[in-house]
Amino acid sequence: MYNLSKTLFERAQRVIPGGVNSPVRAFKGVGGTPIFMKSAKGAYLYDVDGNTYIDYINSWGPMILGHAYEPVVKKIQEYATYSTSFGAPTELETKIAELIVHMVPNIDQVRMVNSGTEACMSALRVARGFTGRNKFIKFEGNYHGHADAFLVSAGSGVATLDIQSVPGVTQSVAADTLTAPYNNLPAVEKLVAEFPDQIAAIIVEPVAGNMGCILPQPGFLEGLRAVCDANNILLIFDEVMTGFRLARGGAQELFNIKADLVTFGKIIGAGMPVGAFAGRREIMQHVAPVGKIYQAGTLSGNPIAMIAGYTLLQTLDENPDIYRQLAEKGAYLSGGIQSALSAAGIVHQVNNLGSMLSVHFAEYPIINFDAASGANNELFKNFFHAMLERGIYLPPSAFESWFISNALTIEDMDKTIATVKEVIAVIK
């Protein structure tokens, strides 16, 4: 079934560490051989061995309208003929910045980078440069990319591989990273009291997607805003996953909470390597070349990436009903999975908001990293493989969110729910 994938994985491991260019892809969290992909269209993935899957990763978020979305593909083809990079400004960069400023509340300016990592790393530098403070607070199990400062109690692959402290991240860097449990406002208030006038920023995934999908409890994000206001701390929303996914204007719009800086990735590039950070003019004016907070990139604002992102964002902007449709699909799928697991007597929690969801095998609510870690993640492994063998491609780790694309049909979801019912007998 996976013969060619196995051969390719063996070959890859000789020349690529672990055979992959990003750790979670290696299936370390669930065991087995990663599946090598050949192509994808809409809601389906096609692997090198000829197997077809319904995709619940969607490139970890970018493919919100499904794979190989035709208007994006056509524009990429057209723009590739003009040159793949100029290293000089283009009108397109202004057009996408204008569109983002129009779609996202509370931002005046946006700087394009090449990944979510760069976006978060740069936003933190801006927060530090703007406030003149060094420390910042992040939450256990949140992931903000692999810049040194963020690799403390990080989610995603760091959690999947259970790396307690990352070699190469110096103690002096890690000392400025303060951590608190997600959804725990008193813990944040305690840190703020402990380090007066030293904390530049609080960075948070407004809906966490790197320890499964975990929703903010009522009052949590509002509380962070209030703590920041009272202590001149900048609030950074890491919207790499939630941006343009949970709403046209991301979590800021959905929860009606203003962040001081916002980071983006994934959807903003429609699958091309793009990220961005954005904020009010008074803050962004400190970024070079206007201000002294240096930040740069040879390929930043790359024309192929920009036209791909611009085309996708324009579609989302012009068709806000997509968000209602995605939320309906998310609720339908979550409800179906919940009923199937309940009927079989399997303890579980399905967390869902809009087009993000995750399944945890636990009897208590999953509201933070400790809760996600304490779930029956052995059972998740069996669940994952049983689903995969039947053509349902889930994230290969209990510490990752599932992402739905709008290409997904009711029939696809019914098939998925029926498959859950079928695999229960195998995994019990």
Residues at the contact surface with ligand PMP, assessed by CB under 6 A: 60, 115-117, 120, 143-145, 156, 205, 209-210, 238, 240-241, 265, 275
Q: How far is the CB of 239 from ligand PMP (least distance, A)?
A: 8
* Known active-site residue 143: yes
What is the phi/psi pair of residue 233, to 5°? -105, 140
Among residues 215 and 341, whose Cβ is nearest to ligand PMP? 215
* Known active-site residue 44: no
User: To 10 degrees, what angle do helices 303-318 and 91-103 make?
Assistant: 30
Q: Tell me which residue of 371, 425, 417 sits closest to 398, measured CA to CA.
A: 371
Among residues 117 and 183, whose Cβ is nearest to ligand PMP? 117
Name the residue whose CB lies closest to ligand PMP. Answer: 116
Q: How far is the CB of 403 from ligand PMP (least distance, A)?
A: 10
CA gap 372, 46 in Å, rounded: 31
Among residues 60 and 310, whose Cβ is nearest to ligand PMP? 60
DSSP 208: B
Cβ-count burial of 415 within 10 angstroms (0-12 exposed, 13-18 middle, 19+ buried)? middle
Q: Which two tokens stand for residue 12?
A: 């890859």
Among residues 366 and 427, whose Cβ is nearest to ligand PMP? 366
Among residues 278 and 413, whose Cβ is nearest to ligand PMP? 278
- CB of 382 closer than 8 Å to CB of 427: yes
Q: Tell me which residue of 180, 178, 188, 279 sits closest to 225, measured CA to CA.
A: 188
Identify the active-site residue in 143, 182, 310, 393: 143
**Residues facing 359 on adjacent strands:** 350
- CB of 240 closer than 8 Å to CB of 275: yes
Q: How far is the CB of 421 from ligand PMP (least distance, A)?
A: 31
Among residues 155 and 303, whose Cβ is nearest to ligand PMP? 155
CA gap 311, 178 in Å, rounded: 39
Identify the active-site residue in 266, 310, 381, 412: 266
Q: Is 391 left (phi over 0), alpha (psi -120 to 50) or beta?
A: left
Q: How far is the CB of 283 from ligand PMP (least distance, A)?
A: 19
Could you check whether the bond before residue 23 is cis, i.e. omega within 30 degrees of 0?
no
Q: How far is the CB of 116 from ligand PMP (least distance, A)?
A: 2
Spatial neighbors of 62 by CB under 8 A, at least 6 apart, are: 266, 267, 269, 270, 271
Q: How far is the CB of 139 from ligand PMP (least distance, A)?
A: 11
Q: Tell me which residue of 300, 249, 294 sits closest to 273, measured CA to CA.
A: 300
Among residues 34 and 265, whose Cβ is nearest to ligand PMP? 265
Q: How far is the CB of 85 from ligand PMP (least distance, A)?
A: 19
* Known active-site residue 364: no
Identify the active-site residue in 238, 329, 393, 412: 238
Among residues 160 and 419, whose Cβ is nearest to ligand PMP? 160
- Sheet containing 356-360, strands listed edge to edge, beginning at the edge strand earlier in sequence: 349-353, 356-360, 402-403
What is the Cβ-side half-sphere exposure of residue 172, based on CA atoms within 13 angstroms?
0
What is the phi/psi pair of residue 213, to 5°? -100, 120
What is the Cβ-side half-sphere exposure of residue 223, based on CA atoms within 13 angstroms?
14
- CB of 369 closer than 8 Å to CB of 153: yes
Q: How far is the CB of 210 from ligand PMP (least distance, A)?
A: 5
Residues acting as catalytic residues: 143, 238, 266
